[in-house]
Amino acid sequence: MVTTIQISEDLQEELKNRKLYDKESYEEVIWDLIEDTLELSEETKRDIEEARTDIKAGRTHSLAKVKKELGL
């Protein structure tokens, strides 16, 4: 069964940017994203979620700040 979905213009642009070649369909892009997620270990998924939590809480360091601290 074929169906249509509504997505925002921002999401459409993001999917467009993830295409590996011009004629790749959005369905192929989405399947690639799903496949990538399935390949992650549970530990990696927890680490990603922890990193997202840290980012939302502002517990990050900019590259410029790290370079400055390291004298680079």
Position 38 scores a pLDDT of 78
As a whole number of angstroms, the distance between CA 68 and CA 66 comes to: 5
In this model, does residue 36 exceed pLDDT 90?
Answer: no
- Reported pTM: 0.50
Mean pLDDT score, 12-22: 93
| Phi (first) and psi of residue 67, to 5 degrees | -60, -40
As a whole number of angstroms, the distance between CA 43 and CA 51 comes to: 12
